[in-house]
A = this chain, B = another copy of it.
Amino acid sequence: MTAEEILGQRDKQVLEAVVIDYIRTGEPVGSRTVAKKYIPDISPATIRNVMADLEELNLLYRPHTSAGRVPTSLGWRYYIDSILTINELAKRDRERIKRAYEGSPKEIQTILRATSRILSELSKQAAVVLLPKLSQTIFKRIQFVRVNQKQVLTIFIAESGIVQSFLVEMDEDISQDELNKYSRYLSESLKGLSLLEVKKRILKEMEEERILFDRLLRKAIELSKKALQVGLDETDIVIEGQTNLLNYPEFADVGQMKKLLSTFEEKTKIIKLLDKCLSSEGVHIILGSEAEFKDVQNMSLISSTYSRGGDILGALGVIGPTRMDYSRIIPLVDYTAKLLSQIFEDE
């Protein structure tokens, strides 16, 4: 028999009380506290009985004999899935987020950085934004800019307005006028493909013999091939407000703090985590204790996806202690993600 079937109204009430108080104080909650602050019409003794049941169901546990109860990861999960009701984000927060985007230039890096910043600011935790996968973006234009005899700056412009540039080393000197010709030629012939397709196409064309005779085409292809060699698959993230987390008592210990910081230093893990959220739209909640964050057990991630024209571009989220105010953070992440999608839509 699962918790789902067996939990009565009062059990839920008690579990919720424990969770809420634990979120507030960070300390184990005792029966007396629950009775007094949350369910005054029931005595502590009764609460204790209920708590014992919940402990048996592995929803609560005690750090030690004479301490209060703390939610287990199963407890958190149950609370999030079956008890928590999510309200709309407060109006002033919504306004605040909107304002964060005003005035700033429309450069994608800047927008996403602003997103990360406002998320961390409002959540008072760490925020993370996964940048759109380059290989997925739809190609719109390419432009070559001569830097000096040996170097050419290659700029990809995506339909979504994402601009990405790479510096490419060249064997021979090519004039800017000629580079402009390449740009025009390639932009015309590759428009509408994803960057991944662009790469495939270029490699294929290089194999075919006919380009041997078309000097213009050959040079252009060669150049863009070099540019595309540079990390197309790499995904990048923006992290902001890591130091916010240091104020939480769960990290008020040198060892924990170091672990926390080294987790953030190794971005790949966080990228992987966010990658998982990309598979489906909407808010995802990953609890550290549910095995994903092996290093920092008491952390969790609330994330959502942002998209443009139905296609998921990337993900964003808030990372904080498992003991966080889900009723506030979930709407925050949700709203921000939707607003961000809308901004991309408008472009």
Q: Which residues of A contact B (CB under 8 A)?
A: 105-107, 110, 141, 143, 145-148, 150-151, 153, 155, 157, 161, 163, 165-169, 176, 180, 183-184, 230, 243, 246-247, 252-254, 257-258, 261-262, 265, 347
Contacts and interface: CB of A to CB of B under 8 A. Distances in A.
29 contacts: A105-B167, A105-B168, A105-B169, A106-B150, A106-B151, A107-B167, A141-B145, A141-B147, A141-B176, A143-B143, A143-B145, A143-B176, A145-B145, A145-B155, A145-B157, A147-B157, A148-B347, A151-B161, A163-B165, A180-B180, A243-B262, A243-B265, A246-B257, A246-B261, A252-B254, A253-B254, A254-B254, A257-B257, A261-B261
Contacts of A247: 258
Given A106-B167, A145-B145, 5 more contacts: A147-B161, A147-B163, A176-B183, A176-B184, A257-B257
Contacts of A347: 148
A165 B167 contact: no
A230 B163 CA distance: 17
Contact of A243 (B107, B161, B166, B261): B261
Given A105-B230, A257-B254, A261-B246, A141 B151 contact: no
The 8 A-B residue pairs with the shortest CB-CB distance, nearest first, are A107-B167, A143-B145, A243-B261, A105-B167, A147-B157, A246-B258, A252-B254, A180-B180
Contacts of A246: 254, 257-258, 261
Contacts of A107: 167
A107 B230 CA distance: 12
Contacts of A157: 145, 147, 153
Contacts of A253: 254
Contacts of A163: 147, 153, 165, 167
A206 B157 CA distance: 31
Contacts of A265: 243
Contacts of A146: 141
Contacts of A161: 147-148, 151
Contacts of A167: 105-107, 110, 163
A69 to B, nearest CB: 27
Contacts of A183: 176
B230 A243 contact: no
A258 B230 contact: no
B106 A169 contact: yes
Contacts of A168: 105
A6 B153 CA distance: 61
A278 to B, nearest CB: 25
A289 B240 CA distance: 30
Contacts of A150: 106
Contact of A258 (B147, B151, B180, B243): B243
A16 to B, nearest CB: 32
Contacts of A155: 145, 153, 155, 165
A261 B169 CA distance: 38
A169 B161 CA distance: 12
